[in-house]
């Protein structure tokens, strides 16, 4: 007879103390010896129906403690097989691994407790496992009600639905009368629609929900998007060019590039685009298409709300210093140095800096000088700087 057979026979005869002493005396590894004996003892203990659940659970815990090689979930499973569900639940309280607790709780139909344990564990995969089980086992109303009482699970399920089950997400928001999130849902859904009409219908639903949520800003912004869609559809039909899915600024810029100035002006007025922003859009588009005549004409249409330095810079950006020089004279005194430097006119930049008696601007001009710069000009800058420093 081997030692292992000896221990097994003692265990089957329920001579647990003797089996444990022999294991210790022979220094048998714990997982093969003492822990195995204690596990057998615990599984036998849960079958003793004459003792209350609390007493048995306490006795098992006192004997087993936190022994790493013993799984309380296995003992709890044995208790459940013996028809002692409450004892099994009490034993699971001693199981440190949530991943071992949850499956047995689900098997015992204690889904609420399983969900709580999964959330306590912080293991999102475990939470998803329980939520999926609940979804398959419960009717829709009870399932949503259960999630409402567990904010963490509800949040995770919403994240899942955003990617996998959009209609379920809408049902969740309806169940909670969450009009703000319903509005957001319809806005997102609108971008998945194939036709403009379907997109407009989804956006109108969003407006209705935002109004119910008393979110005036979101309602107004959505109405503005609907208005832009109508304009874009019209332009697309008129000019046979794609405008849908462009922002307001992209639409205006595209119209200006195509010399549709009247239509761009309509959007400018209809959407109340700020003057400065519209001027920037227009000069950028005109310079991009190199329509220098129209750019000059536009600069003279009325006083520029953005000044004339942007005209200089946009021309230089598109490699046309000749056109840029036309606007240098219109630049304010404060921006004269920058304008002259932009077109590469160092002499005039020095004169402007001296006129303003600005040491910082003189330094700026000096930083732009190169080894080939005229010596007389360098002396003039240094002399002016010396005079500025004395003051």
**First CA to last CA across the chain, in angstroms?**
111
Percent of the chain at pLDDT above 70? Answer: 90
Cβ atoms of 37 and 17 within 8 Å: the answer is no
Cα separation, 204 vs 103, whole angstroms: 45
Give residue 291's pLDDT: 92
Cα separation, 91 vs 72, whole angstroms: 6
Backbone φ, ψ for residue 316 (5° rounding) = -65, -40
Residue at a domain's end among 96, 126, 141: 96
Per-residue model confidence as pLDDT tens digits over 106-137:
788 887 788 888 887 778 888 888 888 888 88
Give residue 22's pLDDT: 76
Residue at a domain's end among 36, 61, 96: 96
Please indicate, yes or no, if residue 128 is contained in any of the structural domains: no
Give the chain's mean pLDDT.
Answer: 82
Give residue 116's pLDDT: 81
Cα separation, 343 vs 110, whole angstroms: 79
Please indicate, yes or no, if residue 12 is contained in any of the structural domains: yes
Distances (CA, A) of 224 to 123, 270, 282: 43, 10, 22
Give residue 34's pLDDT: 64
Please indicate, yes or no, if residue 220 is contained in any of the structural domains: no
Please indicate, yes or no, if residue 84 is contained in any of the structural domains: yes
Per-residue model confidence as pLDDT tens digits over 34-70:
666 666 676 676 676 777 777 778 877 777 776 666 6
Give residue 67's pLDDT: 66
Q: Which of 337, 329, 335, 326 is nearest to 365 (CA)?
A: 337
The ranges of the chain with pLDDT < 50 are none
Match 């009717």 to its residue by tokens: 139
Structural domain count of the chain? 2
Range of the domain at 22: 1-96
Please indicate, yes or no, if residue 89 is contained in any of the structural domains: yes
Give residue 31's pLDDT: 57
Please indicate, yes or no, if residue 5 is contained in any of the structural domains: yes
Please indicate, yes or no, if residue 356 is contained in any of the structural domains: yes
Give residue 231's pLDDT: 93
Residue at a domain's end among 96, 116, 133: 96
Give residue 390's pLDDT: 52
Please indicate, yes or no, if residue 137 is contained in any of the structural domains: no
Percent of the chain at pLDDT above 90? Answer: 31
């Amino acid at each position: 007879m081997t030692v292992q057979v000896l221990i097994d026979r003692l265990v089957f005869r329920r001579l647990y103390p003797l089996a444990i002493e022999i294991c210790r005396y022979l220094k048998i590894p714990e997982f093969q010896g003492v822990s195995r004996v204690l596990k057998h003892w615990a599984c036998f203990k849960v079958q003793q129906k004459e003792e209350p659940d609390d007493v048995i659970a306490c006795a098992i815990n006192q004997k087993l403690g936190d022994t790493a090689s013993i799984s309380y979930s296995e003992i709890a499973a044995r208790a459940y097989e013996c028809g002692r569900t409450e004892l099994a639940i009490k034993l699971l309280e001693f199981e440190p691994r949530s991943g071992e607790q949850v499956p047995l709780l689900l098997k015992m139909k204690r889904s609420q407790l399983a969900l709580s344990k999964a959330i306590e564990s912080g293991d999102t995969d475990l939470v998803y496992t329980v939520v999926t089980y609940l979804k398959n086992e419960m009717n829709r109303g009870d399932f949503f009600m259960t999630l409402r009482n567990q904010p963490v699970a509800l949040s995770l399920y919403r994240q899942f639905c955003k990617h996998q089950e959009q209609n379920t997400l809408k049902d969740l928001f309806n169940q909670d009368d969450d009009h703000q999130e319903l509005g957001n849902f319809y806005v997102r859904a609108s971008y998945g629609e194939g036709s403009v009409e379907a997109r407009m219908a989804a956006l109108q639903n969003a407006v209705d929900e935002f109004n119910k949520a008393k979110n005036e800003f979101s309602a107004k912004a959505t109405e503005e998007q609907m208005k832009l869609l109508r304009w874009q559809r019209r332009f697309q039909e008129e000019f046979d060019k794609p405008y849908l899915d462009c922002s307001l600024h992209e639409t205006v810029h595209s119209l200006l590039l195509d010399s549709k100035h009247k239509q761009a002006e309509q959007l400018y007025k209809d959407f109340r685009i700020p003057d400065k922003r519209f001027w920037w859009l227009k000069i950028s588009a005109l310079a991009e298409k190199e329509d220098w005549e129209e750019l000059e004409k536009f600069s003279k249409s009325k006083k520029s709300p953005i000044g004339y330095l942007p005209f200089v810079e946009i021309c230089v950006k598109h490699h046309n210093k000749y056109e840029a020089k036309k606007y240098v004279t219109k630049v304010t005194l404060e921006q004269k140095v920058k304008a002259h430097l932009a077109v590469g006119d160092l002499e005039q930049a020095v004169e402007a800096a001296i006129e303003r008696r600005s040491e910082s601007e003189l330094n700026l001009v000096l930083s732009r000088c190169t080894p080939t710069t005229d010596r007389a000009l360098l002396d003039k800058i240094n002399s002016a700087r010396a005079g500025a420093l004395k003051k």
